[in-house]
């Protein structure tokens, strides 16, 4: 009788351990999710080529190809119904990156004379998970 009750107890302990590991794994994946999604978006944007646009949602996309002139400026036009304060921009330029969120849906950001143009740009909405990626048109 004593053995039988111990075996039942160990099964409950195994079940609790599995539930705990599952909850921890879900928490870690939710934290890493936006970073992984953005990294994949950078790759998709680069593979789409200059001007190629890919979006996961009609509520967030690029309104026109992103254009860049090395050492001068980069021009981005967004088409979105989402609040701009929830958006984050990423690029794959080796020597600079955006900080903060876009201040308008159509903006130009100046580049320092020695800064290079990225080959892809990604915009993500942190609350809904919507993402849009595009290749950058380099202006000579």
| CATH code (residue 98) | 2.60.40
Distance CA 124, CA 67 (A): 19
Q: Evaluate whether residue 78 is within a structural domain.
A: yes
φ, ψ (nearest 5 deg) of residue 20: -65, -45
131 within domain boundaries: yes
- Residue 125 domain-assigned? yes
pTM over 0.85: no
In sign, the C-alpha dihedral spanning 95, 28, 81, 41 is positive
Domain that holds residue 79: 35-138
Burial of residue 100 (CB within 10 Å: 0-12, 13-18, 19+) is: exposed
Is residue 15 in a domain?
no
Q: In this structure, are residues 117 and 69 in contact, taking their beta carbons and an 8 Å threshold? A: yes
pLDDT surpassing 80 at residue 47 = no
* Total tally of structural domains belonging to the chain: 1
Confidence of residue 130 (pLDDT cuts 50, 70, 90): confident
Q: What percent of the chain has pLDDT over 70?
A: 89
Neighbouring C-alpha atoms within 13 Å toward the C-beta of 48 = 24
Assigned domain for 73 exists: yes
pLDDT tier at 68 (50, 70, 90 boundaries)? very high
């Amino acid at each position: 009788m004593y053995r039988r009750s111990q075996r039942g107890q160990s099964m409950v302990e195994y079940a609790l351990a599995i539930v705990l590991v599952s909850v921890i794994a879900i928490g870690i994946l939710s934290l890493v999710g936006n970073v992984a999604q953005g990294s994949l978006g950078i790759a998709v944007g680069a593979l789409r080529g200059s001007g190629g646009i890919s979006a996961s949602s009609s509520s967030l996309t690029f309104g026109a190809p992103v254009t860049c002139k090395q050492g001068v400026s980069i021009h981005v036009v967004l088409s979105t119904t989402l609040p701009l304060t929830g958006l984050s921009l990423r690029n794959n330029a080796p020597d600079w990156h955006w900080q903060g969120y876009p201040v308008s849906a159509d903006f130009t950001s100046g580049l320092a004379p020695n800064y290079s143009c990225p080959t892809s740009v990604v915009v993500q909405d942190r609350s809904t998970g919507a993402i849009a990626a595009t290749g950058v048109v380099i202006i000579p």
